[in-house]
Structure 1
Amino acid sequence: MALTKSFKELVQRRVADDPAFAENLLREGIDTMLGGDVETGKSILRDYINATVGFEKLATATDTPRKSLMRMFSPSGNPQARNLFGVLGYLQKQAGVQFHVAPKPH
């Protein structure tokens, strides 16, 4: 299902106005991918990228062509681990956060 322009604009405004929302959106994208729902995780991260650094700046920072990044986070994209972790590392640095994987308590 394609997102409407108004929804994308809403996410962008919310990210710009609410740093906690932005951090949680990044966290949710990463958590969703780690939980096995790669499609949804990529979609969340694509929204986060569009609302924050943008694909052009991300391409420059990661030395990855913009179109490759856009494909990587598309529904049919299949990012290599090296590329994905490079992007996630950059996004965390830009956001001033560092996420760690930890087991859930039993």
Structure 2
Amino acid sequence: MPTVPLKDSLKAMVERKLELATEMLEDAINALLAGDVDEGRLLFRQYINATIGFQELARRTGKADKTLMQMLSASGNPTVSNLFEIIHVCTKAEGVTISAHVVAQQHVPS
């Protein structure tokens, strides 16, 4: 039985349920803000593959698609300016803005 690559499956899911793209973007941003950079890069890569694609991201950022793929790979290490440029392009593509909220952690007695 043939299998469908994850990239194609996610793209098909986003096409059926458009709000999934925004949810994927939010998950990627939240992972980065929570300090899970590896997870955040992976989630951004999945989001981009399922939505605008790396060629379109390259066109919008003026960076090579292979460079962007490398930045968001498991061994990637994008600069802060590159990462925020990617986030900016993705939020603009989704027609959303980011609003951060600081929430005090609840202290659990030891």
**TM-score between both structures, scaled by the size of structure 1:** 0.90
Distance in 2 (CA, whole Å) between partners of 1:46 and 1:97 is: 18
Stretches of structure 1 lacking an aligned partner (at least 5 in a row): none
Three-state SS of the structure 1 residue aligned to 2:5 is helix
Deviation readout 1:35-72 (Å, 9 max, x if unpaired): 01111111111011011111111111101111110000
Cα RMSD for the two superposed structures: 1.4
Q: Percent identity?
A: 36
Distance change (3 Å), C-alpha of 1:38 and 1:5:
farther
**Residue identity opposite 1:82 in structure 2:** S
- In structure 1, the partner of 2:23 is 24
In structure 1, how many angstroms separate the alpha carbons of the residues matched to 2:56 and 2:5? 23
**What residue in structure 1 maps to residue 5 of structure 2?**
6
Alignment pair present for 1:100 and 2:95? no
Shift of 1:12: 1.0
Q: Normalising by structure 2, report the TM-score.
A: 0.87
Q: What is the DSSP-based 3-state SS (H/G/I as helix, E as strand, rest coil) of the residue aligned with 2:73? A: coil
Say which one has the larger Rg. Answer: 2
**C-alpha deviation, 1:9, in angstroms:** 2.1
Residue 6 of structure 1 deviates from its aligned partner by 3.3
* More helix as a share of residues: 1
